[in-house]
């Protein structure tokens, strides 16, 4: 199997802007909310702080080194750079991350409700549930620690009183997972509105589903 060529820095910068715009225009993250990053060299490339995505150019994307330092001559990185970098440190297989304030995921996050195994598609995030990590002030190392723990064995989580995070091997994969989390959050919210305790799939079934998703679609095929 031929080893995939790594995208250039220029291509990654363009992809981050395109991902942020798609996230914004789809309603996953309205206005200036949310942020996007990808692993690069010993650190990462990330969207700048508080800048409208429509006004963001590839050259505005900020490089943050592995130690959290930002080389001069750049814009300020997203205030959430701490948890992006923390995830890359703890998850070597993660190469892209999106953080959104999508409506239903944020509603559940503000109620501090994780998304349990009400549907087999919950397994797409890598486990039997999509956890909700403990609240901490945005842009802090404390929040970064909570997020890193929440994503240690999952590819997505909710952040209490905040929003959601999804990661992947590529930006498109991370964005697709964020969309799926929002769909699941909406479905679970509406299920709760029916009243009563929802029927949940057991751990053994969710383990089977997690394993099946590892080879779902064209995964594992030689190129």
Question: What are the strands, taking DSSP E only, across 11-131?
Answer: 35-40, 43-46, 62-64, 96-100
216, 180 in Cβ contact below 8 A?
A: no
Reduce the DSSP state of residue 189 to 3 states and report it.
Answer: helix
Distances (CA, A) of 161 to 57, 107, 110, 210: 30, 8, 4, 27
Q: Residue 76, SS3?
A: coil
For 215, the token pair is: 């080879």
Q: Token pair of 139, please?
A: 């842009």
For residue 59, give the DSSP letter: G
Q: Which residues are catalytic?
A: 80
Going by DSSP bridges, is the β-strand pair 156-159/62-64 parallel, antiparallel, or unpaired? unpaired
DSSP 169: S
Beta bridge partners of 115: 130
Task: Locate 45 and state its tokens.
Answer: 């490339």
Nearest to 38 by CA among 177, 168, 126: 168
């Amino acid at each position: 199997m031929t080893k995939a060529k790594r995208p250039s820095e220029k291509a990654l910068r363009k992809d981050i802007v395109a991902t942020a715009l798609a996230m914004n225009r789809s309603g996953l993250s309205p206005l200036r909310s949310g942020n996007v990053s990808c692993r690069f060299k010993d650190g990462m490339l990330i969207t700048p702080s508080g800048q409208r995505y429509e006004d963001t150019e590839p050259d505005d994307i900020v490089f943050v080194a592995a130690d959290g330092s930002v080389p001069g001559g750049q814009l300020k990185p997203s205030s959430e750079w701490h948890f992006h970098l923390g995830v890359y440190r703890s998850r070597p297989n993660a190469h892209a991350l999106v953080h959104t304030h999508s409506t239903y995921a944020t509603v559940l996050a503000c109620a501090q409700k994780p998304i349990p195994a009400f549907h087999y598609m919950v397994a797409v995030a890598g486990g039997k549930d999509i956890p909700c990590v403990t609240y901490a002030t945005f842009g802090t190392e404390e929040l970064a620690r909570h997020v890193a723990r929440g994503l240690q064995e999952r590819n997505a989580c909710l952040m209490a009183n905040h929003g959601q995070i999804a990661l992947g091997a590529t930006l498109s994969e991370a964005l697709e997972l964020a969309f799926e989390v929002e769909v699941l959050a909406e479905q679970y919210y509406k299920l709760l509105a029916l009243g009563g305790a929802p029927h949940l799939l057991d751990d053994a079934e969710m383990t089977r589903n997690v394993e099946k998703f590892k080879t779902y679609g064209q995964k594992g095929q030689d190129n």
